[in-house]
Chain A
């Protein structure tokens, strides 16, 4: 609860960054993904700018184990490159290519009053819920199998 305000501010700056860069506009994202058409390289430069700053941020984070306020920094621990990672990411890319929306820009576009973005995000959350249910049933059946039932 304590740092919800900084989290809100971070989301705000992230969203403004997406608006400044033009990435909240699916037309521009698709212009990047369309290598065979007239190509708009903007998205690559957004990545360059974000990673350029992010490298410094994560370098600082790597040298300390706690935040500026002393709570733990939680970084992802998974390192394996497996089927799940690659297939999941390719799947995400297919959906990204269909509409030109990934999660962040779609949320920003909702704030800009775009009904289509809302439809996308509701469907996306439904997709996440479907995956969650599938995961749980897989886990349950694995446990059942282990118990030998």
Chain B
């Protein structure tokens, strides 16, 4: 039985943040004509083609720059990274390989793909969710780390 943690659940902020993410994806789609799939935007830069670089770098710079804009108005929200360095390296390698092999991540398949009602992206999203659920279950409840 799933038990909801009412102390950490933040429905309002989650919905509001989600709306902003949806607006950002819509903006990129209707002005730049591109899908906001972050692993693809980043990964394609590894084999760059002429005229297809600037918008990618600009989008990524916007993502990295978001906290700098945020602190003009408010204190940054807490970011807690429990994973140690070896786990982070391993996780990074796996995410890098998996997102390219599966052609997308949470943004490209999860947000944009489902928004355009792509069955392919729905399957991808269910697959990475399943992978995530199982991994956290193994780490937290079987291995007990």
Contacts and interface: CB of A to CB of B under 8 A. Distances in A.
Nearest to A68: B30
Interface string B85-117: 101111111111111111111110111111111
Interface residues of B, number: 115
Given A12-B66, A21-B13, A97-B131, A1 B95 contact: no
A51 B22 CA distance: 6
A92 B128 contact: yes
Q: How extensive is the interface on chain A, given as a class? A: 35 or more
Contacts of B49: none
Nearest to A62: B116
A44 B87 CA distance: 25
A76 B109 CA distance: 11
Contacts of B118: 76, 79
A120 to B, nearest CB: 4
B23 A128 contact: no
A148 B61 CA distance: 46
A94 to B, nearest CB: 5
Contact of A15 (B47, B65, B112, B132): B65
Interface string A83-118: 011111111111111111111101111111110110
Contacts of B5: 31, 37-40
